[in-house]
Amino acid sequence: MIYLIFAYFCASMIGITLMALTRKNPVHSVLWLLLLFLHIAVLYLFLNAEFLAVVQVIVYAGAILVMFLFTVFLLGAKELPKGKRYTDLPEGKALIGLSLTGVFIGAFSSITTAWKGKYTIEYIEKIGNTKALGVMLFNEYPLAVFLLGIILLIPMIAVAVIAWRAK
Partner 1 sequence: MEPGTYIPYKYLPVFIALVFSTIFGLGGLLINKLVAPRKFNPVKFIAYESGNLPSGEPKERFFIGFFLLAILFVVFDVEVIFLYPWAVAFDLLSIEGFWVMIIFIGLILVGYIYEILIGALTWHRK
Question: Does residue number 111 form part of the binding site for partner 1 (CB under 8 A)?
Answer: no
43 Rama class: left (phi>0) / alpha (psi -120 to 50) / beta? alpha
Least distance from C-beta 67 to partner 1, angstroms?
Answer: 4
Give the 3-state secondary structure of residue 144. Answer: helix
CA angle (89 as vertex; 87, 93 as ends), nearest 5: 65
Q: Which of residues 66-105 bind partner 1 (CB under 8 A)?
A: 66-67, 70-71, 73-74, 76
Of 87 and 113, the one with the shorter C-beta distance to partner 1 is 113
Task: Mention every residue, 6+ apart, whose C-beta is less than 8 A from residue 29.
Answer: 20, 21, 23
Query: Which residues of this protein are in contact with partner 1, per CB under 8 A?
Result: 2, 45, 48, 50-51, 55, 58-59, 62-64, 66-67, 70-71, 73-74, 76, 113-115, 120-122, 128, 130-135, 137-139, 142, 145-146, 148-150, 152-153, 155-160, 162-164, 166-167
